[in-house]
Amino acid sequence: MPWKDAAHYSLAMSDLVLIAEDDLEIAEILDAYFVREGFRTVRAADGRTAIDLHLALKPDIILLDVKMPQLDGWEVLAEVRRRGNTPVIMVTALDTDIDRLQGLRIGADDYVVKPFNPVEVVARAKAVLRRAGAARFGGVLRVDRLTIDLDSYVVKAETDGKPLLLQLTLTEFRILAHMARMPNKVFSRGELVDACLPGADALDRTVDSHVSNLRKKLDTAGVEGLLLGVRGVGYRLLAGQ
């Protein structure tokens, strides 16, 4: 049964973890470790149930297997991202760079390979929730002609006196917002991976792809020259230059 009794959801102050995993033993292990750390949990044994529970319960974070019945993890992740920004950690036996890249491209917040240490999974979930919580402190950042709304995940560029909405992916938004908090600072690829692409071990090069796409969107919006590469170091977002 994916649902637990209603009393299990009465702990309004604790985060709710949706464990989408068709292997009962793994699901039970994760459940036990998260409950022990004070989390509320709910389980889904297939992708369709995971999507239904996400809509009904609005969990704070999702642990998502890839190979599941009805809908696989990639399909679930895509639907979750279509709906919003619920943090998602992929927990899967697929451990190739291609699989990791696919998860990160679709919008996973972290990627854990089986077999895993459940203590590490809990620690990673806490780290992802801390990052998400920091973003939820909200506010608006303004850099040059960019306005970055941290509450609504909206970025607008002022062009010819008119605001233009930028269509950014979640990762692109994270990179831009992170750099906008400290404009003119040079961020190494490693720093951007840690802050915006957690779990992307040995994938620093993926930052180049995300930054390249982000820079193209900024240039297209008429705010070219703001996001610059610093040879041998990383990237910076210019302000007041």
With tokens 């203590």, the residue in question is 119
CA distance 48 to 54: 10
CA distance 236 to 211: 10
pLDDT score recorded for residue 3: 38
Number of H helices, E strands in the chain: 8, 12
Q: Are the C-beta atoms of 104 and 206 separated by less than 8 Å?
A: yes
Paired sense of beta strands 61-64 and 16-20, if any:
parallel
Task: Give the type of residue at 221.
Answer: A
The ranges of the chain with pLDDT < 70 are 1-13, 94-105, 132-138, 198-204, 240-241
CA distances in angstroms from 147 to 106, 108, 156, 227, listed in the order given = 25, 25, 5, 15
Task: Give the type of residue at 53.
Answer: L
CA distance 7 to 89: 26
Look at residue 168 and give its three-state secondary structure. Answer: coil
The per-residue pLDDT for range 208-234, each reduced to its tens digit, is 888 999 999 999 998 888 899 998 889
Q: Where are the domains of the chain?
A: 6-136, 140-237
Fold topology of 6-136? Rossmann fold (3.40.50)
CA distance 85 to 107: 9
pLDDT score recorded for residue 95: 60
β-strand partners of 127 = none
Q: Are the C-beta atoms of 217 and 172 separated by less than 8 Å?
A: yes
Look at residue 240 and give its three-state secondary structure. Answer: coil
pLDDT score recorded for residue 42: 95
pLDDT score recorded for residue 51: 95
Contacts of 19 (CB under 8 A, 6+ apart): 27, 30, 31, 34, 41, 42, 43, 44, 63
pLDDT score recorded for residue 160: 77
Q: Indicate whether this model's pTM tops 0.75.
A: no
CATH number for the domain running over 140-237: 1.10.10.10
pLDDT score recorded for residue 128: 83
Look at residue 111 and give its three-state secondary structure. Answer: strand
CA distance 151 to 147: 12
